[in-house]
Amino acid sequence: MGSLAAATTEKDIRAGAEIIYGAEECYNHSMELLKALGFPEGVMPLKNLDEAGLVRETGYVWMKQKAPYEHFFKGTNTKVRYDTEVTAYVENGKMKKMTGVKSRQMLLWVPIVEMSVEEKEKIYFKSVVGIGRSFPASAFADDVKAESVEAVAN
């Protein structure tokens, strides 16, 4: 019975959503969204997206990929895991109530629940326990450039 209530709630949350399907369309949509929010493209390097959605009225977004993905950010020396579905509520310069994103800290995977742009030069990440950390935005932009060079080389 609990799953029926959860399904109804999920359906309600996504009511009125703009939904995009297909890898290229979803990738372009997610990059446009990050740019509109003020984040660098490389901050959410999701792979093989097959669905993305946005409820403009509430700011609720989701991105589904075919499989979980782990990414090592060289500029921050941090490993991040993205589940098959990543969700958040967005507003200018902020993603909050995030699900599906975890950062490797020492031996533990710590859920990231919020990220925000600070003065356009830094990105602040907040964990589920309320502890946060800032990184230069350029650390994520550099990651995108490195991936582009690798793709061209292969």
Inside any domain, residue 125: yes
- pLDDT-above-70 percentage for the chain: 86
> 147 and 47 in contact (C-beta within 8 Å)?
no
Domain with 50 in it: 9-153
Inside any domain, residue 131: yes
pLDDT tens across 96-118, in order? 999 999 999 888 999 999 999 98
Inside any domain, residue 2: no
Checking if the pLDDT of 74 tops 50, the result is yes
**What pLDDT sits at residue 11?**
78
Q: DSSP secondary-structure letter at 113?
A: E
Q: Which of 15-29, 41-55, 130-144 has the lowest mean pLDDT?
A: 130-144
Bridge partners of 110, per DSSP, are 103
Q: What is the mean pLDDT of residues 34-63?
A: 93
Type of residue found at 132: G
The radius of gyration of the chain from alpha carbons, rounded to an integer in Å, stands at 16
Q: What CATH number is associated with residue 20?
A: 2.30.240
Q: Which two tokens stand for residue 48?
A: 């093989």
Inside any domain, residue 30: yes
Q: What is the mean pLDDT of residues 33-51?
A: 92
Count of structural domains within the chain: 1
Inside any domain, residue 4: no
Inside any domain, residue 136: yes
